[in-house]
Amino acid sequence: MEPKAPRESRTTLTDLVLPSETNPLNNLFGGELLARMDRAASIAARRHSRRIVVTASVNHVAFNKAVPLGSVVTVEASVSRAFKSSMEIFLDVWVEDRESGRRTKANEAIYTFVAVDETGMPVQIPPLEPETDLEKERFAAALRRKQLSLVLAGKMKPNEATELKALFDN
């Protein structure tokens, strides 16, 4: 399979925060933001794999800034690493100031998706070839996150987690 660049999966979803989507403090419900991120990540994963994709895990979510009622919120997603059938999707969430139009990063998340066939069985996906410095950084970190997850799940022995060990071998 030919490698793909992260830009080929890049997905941008922009929407307005409406009253029915807010909590009593008039900020976007966390669950609503999670759903928006899941949709953007799903599209990015599908663009990379060109297969049916399913959410395998939400590895990390940081709710760093509230998203107020009436805000324009943008979710940007792209594949940060592709493995055999799974792929990590890194998401950045931006809030646009209503008056100045200035964008501020509000949140970020990392999702894992698996490409499957019509029967739900995992299928091989193309490798990812990062281009920018940020893409290369996220690509390298994705392997460490995967190894940590496998060690914690008991699916990999700690001494086999070479990328994790390299962090401490200095």
Q: Quick check: helix, strand or coil at residue 63?
A: strand
Q: Which tops the pLDDT comparison, 22 or 97?
A: 22
Confidence of residue 170 (pLDDT cuts 50, 70, 90): low
Q: What is the spatial distance between Cα 112 and Cα 114, in angstroms, rounded to a whole number?
A: 7
Confidence of residue 104 (pLDDT cuts 50, 70, 90): very high
- In the CATH scheme, what architecture does the domain 6-129 have? Roll (3.10)
The reported pTM is: 0.92
Summarised one tens digit per residue, pLDDT across range 105-159 is 999 999 999 999 999 999 999 999 999 999 999 999 999 999 999 999 999 998 8
Summarised one tens digit per residue, pLDDT across range 25-60 is 999 999 999 999 999 999 999 999 999 999 999 999
**The one-letter amino acid at 160:** E
Considering Cα of 131, then 133, then 138, then 144, what sign does the dihedral take? Answer: positive
Residue 54's nearest CA partner among 108, 123, 2 is 123
**In terms of DSSP bridges, do strands 11-16 and 72-82 run parallel, antiparallel, or are they unpaired?**
antiparallel
Residue 41's nearest CA partner among 94, 108, 111 is 111
